[in-house]
Amino acid sequence: MLLAIDIGNTTIGFAVMHKGRIVSTAIIDTDAKTGKIKAVVAKIFKAHAISRAIICSVVPKASQALENILSKKVPTDIIGRDIAVPIKNRYKNPKQVGQDRLVGAYGAVKIYGCPLIVVDLGTAITFDVISPKGEYLGGAIVPGIRLSAESLFLKTALLPHIEIQAPRYIIGKTTQESILSGLFYGYGSLCRGFIDLISQQLKTKPKVVMTGGHTHLMKKFVSPKIRIIDEDLVFKGIYFLSSL
């Protein structure tokens, strides 16, 4: 079995995979203490016969710590260092593209074909564009939902810290309702607008895939522009890379 690991700025996701199917998952905070990380890994290895681990990371310090734990148990590879994502990268400086963006793009091309746009709702919201030829063209990055909410709380005197949840109304009747409306309806409109602009530049109608931690909450705010929801896209991309 393969242990696929997605290290983001906020959380670390673990997926045990067998023949392309996710058998089980676990998630912890990226800044979790070493003891907690070891406990999660030990629980996974106790429950499953893991033969290999592959890490996709945008946090070098966290990937190094996790590799130190895993390499004592199974062969462990890090994408970008040990495994190159086989997609033509058209960024001016290809090294600037996060490996998670390339892995998601690669997985989406393998599953859904191209051209396409991958919208990843994580700490940042990213739009990744793949051409009809299957080339990674680049995209756009904006602050994510939680990051925006925390910025409002930290950078203003009177706005409160809020729980991230879908709003009930477009016109908020309280400060919390107003912030939630602004975040969800605002980002929903932003996503739809970006999809239209990118499609115009591509001069075609690409498929659009949404993934990331806030997918479940956001999906109704971007429909009907996004019909393909795949919260496990990076894990699937890692699995495809395991056979290279």
Residue with tokens 């390499």: 71
Distance CA 244, CA 133 (A): 21
- Closest by alpha carbon to 108, among 207, 222, 197, 16? 207
Supply the residues annotated as catalytic: 100
3-state helix, strand, coil in the chain (%, to 5): 40, 25, 35
Please tell me whether residue 64 adopts helix, strand or coil conformation.
helix
17: left (phi over 0), alpha (psi -120 to 50) or beta: beta
Distance CA 12, CA 202 (A): 34
